[in-house]
Amino acid sequence: MEAVAVTRNVQRWQRDAVLELYELPFMDLLHRAQIVHRNHHAPNTVQLSTLMSIKTGACTEDCAYCPQSKHHDTGLEQDSRLAALEAVVAEAKAARAQGAQRFCMGAAWRSPTERQLDDVVEMVQAVKALGMETCVTLGMLKAGQAERLKQAGLDYYNHNLDTSPEFYGNIITTRTYQDRLDTLEAVREAGIKVCCGGIVGLGESRRERAGLLAQLANLNPYPDSVPINNLVRVEGTPLADVPAVDEFEFVRTIAVARVIMPKAVLRLSAGRTEMSDTMQALCFMAGANSIFYGDELLTTANPQQQKDRHLMERLGLQPAA
């Protein structure tokens, strides 16, 4: 296996130190986050990714937020079939034409079989041949599967922690926190970049949000890409009626993530349809520098490309090269 050089984390973040950042005056926290952001990133650029569901629904996991779980009755059509290679290539070409730099493919699996991975490998190779960065999220990986994806040319593997270790059992019971950490370790060892983040608004406390961010920052190394999702409350899931997180609290979460993971790309992910333009602008000010770009995120709506382009023009933001 190819040797992988990683930069070890210089600082380990204790939860209380993360909480101290959360509790700074809002303007002070944004100012600090913006300084960190400008020290490590082009200040007015946003990386654009497009996400396609290559296999929708019928997932055996019981994630309380997810409409694709077979444990929840959300009205989503359950389909165990994998998308055709031609359809994936067509979607990737369309995304590239609209300015997306990265094409992400998501399958609602607990873990792919070797036969299923054969098909995904073909998809990765085909998208890579278009000159795009590639990312997949396929659930847990078995021994040797990360290496196969690396050989196919995969750039990023997404596997979110979702929430803090102590709150995790309230959200998922069909896989453990350690299962997730093991998959992330396999991805790192194979030389694939890690895309790993979480969800805000699951009913967790600020202390538990701080626990998630500390857990992410203390991964060794912390993820290259960190998606921060604002819970999309879907009727039929156990979290359909959970109260929405305060907008400023969500922006604080972005800012804290930027301070403690300065070099990571922070993606403003699910939930943007419920965010005002002003809230999104504050998130960019706080250090977010990536978005999912397109009309749909797996099974939920996403701001249309033209609307995103208009917002970026109003803010003077440019797509990353």
Amino acid letter, residue 195: C
Confirm whether 267 is a catalytic residue. Answer: yes
Confirm whether 104 is a catalytic residue. Answer: yes
SS3 (DSSP) at 225: strand
Using the structure block, give the residue that is written with the tokens 């709506």.
301
Confirm whether 66 is a catalytic residue. Answer: yes
Q: From the candidates 32, 135, 175, 188, which is the catalytic residue?
A: 135
SS3 (DSSP) at 248: helix
Q: Are 292 and 51 in contact (CB under 8 A)?
A: yes
In 3D space, the residue among 161, 236, 230, 146 whose CA is nearest the CA of residue 193 turns out to be 146
Q: From the candidates 32, 102, 104, 258, which is the catalytic residue?
A: 104
Confirm whether 283 is a catalytic residue. Answer: no
Burial call 97-133: b when 16+ CB within 10 Å, e when fewer: eeebbbbbbbbbbebbeeebbebbbebbebbbeeebb
Residue 271 backbone zone (phi > 0: left; psi -120 to 50: alpha; other: beta): left
Confirm whether 59 is a catalytic residue. Answer: yes
Q: From the candidates 32, 63, 196, 272, which is the catalytic residue?
A: 63
Q: From the candidates 32, 188, 258, 267, which is the catalytic residue?
A: 267
Q: Which residues sit opposite 103 in a β-bridge? A: 50, 134
Q: From the candidates 32, 180, 188, 195, which is the catalytic residue?
A: 195
Distance separating alpha carbons of residues 211 and 184, to the nearest angstrom? 18
Q: From the candidates 59, 102, 175, 258, which is the catalytic residue?
A: 59
Q: Which residues are catalytic?
A: 59, 63, 66, 104, 135, 195, 267
